[in-house]
Copies of this chain bind each other. A is one copy, B any other.
Amino acid sequence: MSLRRLGLTASFAAMGGVAFVLAAAPAMAREEGMWTFNNFPIALVNQKYGTNIDQAWLDNLRSASVRLNGCSASFVSGEGLILTNHHCVLSCVQELSTAENDYVQNGWMPATREEEKTCLGQTAEVLTDIIDVTDRVLAAGQGLTGAEFTQARNAETAKIQQENCNGDPKLTCQVISFYRGGQYALYKFRKYDDVRLVFAPELQAAFFGGDPDNFNFPRYALDAAFLRAYEDGKPVETPNHLVWNSSAPAEGDVTFVVGNPGSTSRLLTMSQLEWTRDQQLPITLIQGSELRGRMLAYAATSAEAKRVATDPIFGLENSFKVWYGQNQALLDPAFMAKKREEEAALRAAVDADPALKQRIGDPWSELAQIQSVARELYLPYRQLEQGAGSRSTLYSIGRAIVRTGKAREAGRVSDAQMAQFGQRVSADLPIDAGLEEVYLGFWLSKTREYLTVDNPQVKALLGNESPEALADRLVSTTRLADPAFRAQVATMTPAEMAAADPLLAFILANDDAAAAIGARWNNEVTAPTAQAAERVAQARFAVYGTNQYPDATFSLRISYGQVQGWTYRGVEVPAFTYIGGLYERATGSEPFNLAPSFAAAEDRVNKQAVYNFVSTNDIIGGNSGSPVVNAKGEVIGAAFDGNIHSLGGSYGYDAALNRTVTVSTAAITEALRTVYRQPHLLAELGVE
C-alpha cells in the first residue's frame, strides 16, 4: 500500500530523442537522490562501490522497467512477465473476484496462462526516449500571467505531445517538468494496454501487519504479485528483462532502485514549506483523521460494510501516515534550520552576482507573497473545489459529467473527446451507498464548519437541509450509480442534466462558485508559483551547476544505496527479517493473523530465508513495485515501502535514517516453491 503514488494524474499524451546534460551539486547527503536516467552519477557510484556501471547497464535497466498506474514494476522474463507489489494489483484482484471466489482473500493463481485475466484500465509503459523541450515550453508562456500563462503552456505541451506521438495508441508522450520548471522534457513510452493478472498471494500474506506495520520495520510482508503484458492477445516478447536472482543480498551490498517516485518537495522555498506545515498539512491531517474515524466506525456496522470499506480505509490510513510523517519533518526545528541555511546561501549567491540577480529577480519574496494569498484562499478552495465531495465516487463522476456538459455547450469538446468520455463514464465502478453517504455527509459538514454557517456558498450548498440529510437524499435519489444512466446523461445539456438527476442538479447549482474559486487559485497561486519557481531553479543551476537531481515527478528515476539497518534513539533495527519471524509475530488477531497458506506451510517453509530487507535507497510513493537490483543488474526484490523516517523524504533525505523496504526475491521464490507451489512460474523465472 505504502509506496503507491498518492493520487494519480488524469491522463497522459506524446515524441523521442535525448536530453539535457546536468553537472555538480551542493551539500548532498551520501546516497541521496532520485536521479534521471540521463544524469546518473556513474563515476561517483563506481568509485564508491567498485561497480562497473556503464551506459549499456543503465539502458538495459531502463528497458526492463515498467510504469504502471501509480506504481512501478519490471519485466522479469522474456515473455512479458512483470514483477510488482500486491498492493499495486489489489484493485484488479478485487474486480476479478466474485461472490463465489474471493481472490483478495484466497489469492489469484491460475494454473495455465490462458486463465490470466486482464486488469481493466491497467497500462504498462516502458520509457524509450527523453527529449529536452525546455526552450519551447518556456517560450510559450513568455510575458503572460495567470490564466493566459497557464493556457499557453498547456497548449504548447499538448502540441509537443501530439507532434511526437501522433495519436499512436502504442505510444505515450508526456511533457514532464523537472527541477520545478527548471527543465522540461518529453518522455516517450512504449505502451501496453492489455495487462493481465498472473499471480497474487493472499492479501493477508501481502499485507500482514496491516496499517500498524505500514511504514514500520521489522516487517513480514509478501507484497509481491506478477502481471503479464499482452499485445494482440499474445504475451509481449521482452528480451530486455531483468535476471531473477533468488539469493538474498548481504549487509552492505550495493542496491539500485528503479521506478517512478511520484512527488517530492525538496526544492520548495521556506515560505512554501511553512505554508505546507502551518496550513495545508494540519487541515489535511485533522480532516483526514475525522474521516478515518467515520469510516472505521462505518466498517464496524456490518460484515458487508467492513468488506467494502476495508480497501478505502487502507488507502486513507496509508495517506494519513504519509501526511503525518511529512508534517513531523517540517515540525523538526533542526530540519527547518538546515533548509533555511540552504536558502539563505542560494539567495546570498544570487545577490552577490548583479547579472544573475538582474535575470532572477527575487522569486523568494514573490513566493512568500503568494503564500499569503494561499492562506486566504486555501480553505474555500479546498472545501468547494479541490476536495469537494470528499472521496465520493458519485460526486466525482457527477462533476465530470457536469463540467464536460458545460464545456460541450460552450463548444470546447470534440466528438472524439466526447466518445472517449462516454466510454469512461459508462465503465463499471464499485459504488457503496453507505460509504457514499459517509463521504458526502463528512464533506458537507466540514465545509460548513470551516467556512461557517454564514458563508454564502455554504448556504447555497445546504439550503435548509442538514449535511447528513442532504447527503442521504442525494445518494438515495441519484441514478448515477447506473453506468447506462451515466452514459445517457453525459450527452445531455446542463439544463437537461439538472432536470434528470438530483445529484447533477446539486452539482450544477454550485458549480459556478466552485469553478470561480478554482480559477482564482490557479491564477493567483498556481500560475505565479510556476513562474517564480522556474527562476529559483535557474538560480540553482547558475550557482551550483546542473549536477543535481530534480524533485520526483512520477518519471523514471534510479537511486543507489546499500543494504543497511539503522539506529534510532539507541535502538538498532537490523537490515533483514526472515520467514521464521512471521510465525513469531503472528498473534492470531487481525492484522497479525497468518494467511492460511502460510499457516499450512509452516512445517515445510524455509524459515531461514530472508523475507524483507531495508536499504539506504532514496525513494517515495510511486516507487511501489520498483525492482531492486544488484551490481550485476539482477533483480533481488521489489520495493514496497519506506520506513517511518522515509516519510520526511518528501522534503529531504537523511542517510542515517531513511530506508527503503523490499520484499526479497528469496522470499518470493520460497513462497512460490513451498507455500503456493507454482512450479511453472519458478520455471519461467529460471529457478530450478
Residues of A bordering B, CB below 8 Å: 209, 211-213, 216, 218, 274, 278-279, 282, 285-287, 289-298, 300-301, 324, 327, 331, 333, 376, 438, 442, 448-449, 452-454, 462-466, 468-469, 569, 587-592
List, in ascending order, chain B residues with CB within 8 A of A296's CB: 290, 293-294, 297
Q: How far is the CA of A280 from the CA of B279 in the complex (A)?
A: 17
Could you tell me if B465 and A331 are in contact, using CB atoms closer than 8 angstroms?
no
Minimal beta-carbon separation of A293 from chain B (angstroms): 2
- Of all chain B residues, the one with the shortest Cβ separation from A317 is B449
List 8 interface pairs A-B (beta carbons < 8 Å), by A numbering: A209-B453, A278-B331, A282-B285, A287-B289, A293-B296, A297-B298, A301-B301, A466-B591
Is A327 within 8 A of B282, CB to CB? yes
Q: Which residues of B contact A466 (CB under 8 A)?
A: 589-592
Q: Which chain B positions have C-beta within 8 A of A465?
A: 587, 589
Contacts of A333 in B (CB 8 A): 274
A277 to chain B, nearest CB (A): 9
Distance between A364 CB and nearest chain B CB, rounded to angstroms: 16
Which 6 pairs from chain A and chain B are nearest by CB? A293-B293, A297-B297, A289-B289, A464-B587, A293-B294, A290-B293
**Which residue of chain B is the closest to A294 with respect to CB atoms?**
B293
Number of copies: 2
Which residues of B are found within 8 Å of A331, using beta-carbon distances?
Answer: 278-279, 282
A590 to B376 CA separation, bound complex (whole angstroms) = 30
**Residue ID in chain B nearest A437 by CB atoms:** B300
Complex CA gap A208/B610 in Å reads 62
User: Which residues of chain B are near A285, meaning CB under 8 Å?
Assistant: 282, 285-286
Q: Chain B's nearest CB lies how many Å from the CB of A419?
A: 41
Closest residue of chain B to A571 (Cβ to Cβ) is B454
User: Using Cβ atoms and an 8 Å threshold, which residues of chain B touch A324?
Assistant: 286
Besides the known contacts A287-B289, A290-B292, A464-B588, 11 further A-B residue pairs in the complex with CB atoms under 8 A apart: A212-B453, A274-B333, A285-B285, A289-B290, A293-B296, A294-B296, A300-B468, A465-B587, A465-B589, A466-B592, A469-B589
Minimal Cβ-Cβ distance residue in B for A332 = B278
A573 nearest CB across to chain B (Å): 9
Contact B454 A218 (CB under 8 A): yes
Shortest A275–chain B CB gap in Å is 10
Give the chain B neighbours of A463 by CB distance below 8 A.
587
Q: How far is the CB of A669 from chain B (nearest CB, A)?
A: 27
The CA-CA distance from A274 to B212 in the complex, in Å, is: 29
A459: nearest chain-B partner, CB-CB: B587
| B589 and A453 within 8 A (CB) | no
A448 to B211, CA, bound (A): 10
In the complex, residue of chain B having the shortest beta-carbon distance to the beta carbon of A216: B452
A278 neighbours in B (Cβ, 8 Å) = 331
Could you say which residues of chain B place their CB within 8 Å of the CB of A592? 453, 466
- Within the complex, the shortest CB–CB distance from A273 to chain B, in Å, comes to 13
Are B449's CB and A212's CB within 8 A? yes
- Among B212, B218, B282, B294, which residue has its beta carbon within 8 angstroms of that of A297? B294
Q: Which B residues are in CB contact (< 8 Å) with A287?
A: 289
